């Protein structure tokens, strides 16, 4: 957290002033940048740690914290349970490493997308941001469902996740929404509601079997994702 504040502190302080000028502060995007802390280790240890994180990401995102056992994770990763203690100290540490992987990838991908859009007009920036978020949600279909389930109770896991990962995502997207609204691009919507419309709309990608049965559509297709982008764009953005 200290490193994140150091990287994004200056941008954070001036971003509100930039919003008032109807400008997207692309320096502020630095608050999205995330690098998980790693200790030095041999190649074999790095590989076993990576396998554990990969397996636990899928398990925690699909089943939640309480339903996942370290025994099952170790077995699925093909390593001994003692390696979880060695690498992560506890199940809590393993969960945090998994969240760092999933949400860190989400943040860094979004940051790269937004930086690549610097210099484009604001309507293009917000439209492509929506398209990119939808693409990430299609790639990680359990994220929206996971956040909906996790947000029901303010336990220590939700508080940790909010401070470590969700707040930077919220701050950057809401900043862009605020600028877009002042420019007449975003509809006259409450910013927080608009943010959650965008983020929770990704839960549609966790309904693969239902949508296939009821509508005969493949949610993994580019056509389906693009239709979802168009729905969100027309819902959120004003007429050109």
Tell me the torsion sign for CA atoms 22, 24, 25, 28: positive
CATH classification at residue 157: 1.10.357.10
Supply 150's token pair. Answer: 């996790």
| pLDDT greater than 70 at residue 3 | no
Average pLDDT over residues 35-61: 84
| pLDDT greater than 60 at residue 39 | yes
Mean pLDDT of the chain: 86
Cβ-contact 122, 185 below 8 angstroms: yes
Query: Tokens 């439209």 sit at which residue?
Result: 127
pTM given for the model: 0.85
pLDDT for the residue numbered 141: 77
pLDDT for the residue numbered 150: 65
Supply 188's token pair. Answer: 């006259």
Q: What is the 3-state secondary structure (H, E, C) of the chain?
A: CHHHHHHHHHHHHHHHHHHHCCCCCHHHHHHHCCCCCCCCCCHHHHHHHHHHHHHHHHHHHHHCCCCCCHHHHHHHHCCCCHHHHHHHCCHHHHHHHHHHHHHHHHHHHHHHHHHHCCCCCHHHHHHHHHHHHHHHHHHCCHHHHHHHHHCCCCCHHHHHHHHHHHHHHHHHHHHHHHHHHHCCCECCCCHHHHHHHHHHHHHHHHCHHHHHHHHCCCCCCHHHHHHHHHHHHHHHECCC
pLDDT for the residue numbered 183: 92
CA-wise closest residue to 106 among 36, 52, 206, 210? 36
More confident residue, 17 or 229: 229
Average pLDDT over residues 56-67: 86
Average pLDDT over residues 176-202: 94
Q: Any bridge partners for residue 186, and if so which?
A: 237
pLDDT digits (tens, 9 = 90+) for 127-147: 999 999 999 888 887 777 677
Contacts of 42 (CB under 8 A, 6+ apart): none
Average pLDDT over residues 15-32: 78
Q: How many domains are contained in the chain? A: 1
Domain boundaries, position 167: 2-236
pLDDT digits (tens, 9 = 90+) for 182-191: 999 999 999 9
Average pLDDT over residues 211-228: 95
CA-wise closest residue to 169 among 143, 141, 138? 143
pLDDT for the residue numbered 5: 44
CA distance linking residue 58 with residue 42, whole number of Å: 25
pLDDT for the residue numbered 16: 53
Supply 8's token pair. Answer: 């994004």
Supply 11's token pair. Answer: 């941008």
């Amino acid at each position: 957290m200290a490193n994140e504040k150091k990287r994004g502190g200056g941008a954070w302080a001036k971003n509100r002033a930039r919003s008032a000028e109807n400008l997207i502060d692309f320096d502020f995007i630095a608050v999205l940048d995330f690098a998980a802390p790693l200790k030095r280790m041999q190649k074999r240890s790095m590989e076993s740690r990576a396998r554990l994180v990969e397996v636990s990401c899928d398990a925690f995102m699909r089943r939640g914290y309480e339903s996942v056992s370290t025994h099952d994770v170790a077995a699925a990763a093909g390593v001994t349970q003692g390696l979880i203690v060695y690498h992560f100290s506890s199940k809590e540490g393993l969960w945090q490493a998994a969240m760092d992987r999933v949400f860190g990838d989400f943040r860094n991908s979004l940051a790269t997308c937004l930086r690549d859009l610097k210099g484009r007009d604001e309507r293009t920036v917000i439209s492509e941001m929506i398209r990119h978020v939808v693409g990430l949600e299609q790639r990680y279909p359990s994220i929206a469902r996971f956040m909906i389930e996790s947000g029901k109770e303010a336990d220590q896991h939700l508080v940790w996740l909010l401070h470590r990962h969700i707040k930077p995502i919220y701050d950057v997207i809401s900043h862009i929404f605020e600028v877009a609204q002042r420019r007449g691009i975003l509809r006259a919507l409450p910013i927080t509601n608009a943010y959650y419309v965008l983020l929770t709309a990704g839960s549609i990608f966790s309904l693969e079997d239902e949508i296939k049965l009821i509508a005969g559509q493949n949610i993994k297709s580019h056509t389906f994702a693009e239709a979802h982008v168009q729905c969100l764009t027309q819902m959120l953005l004003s007429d050109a």
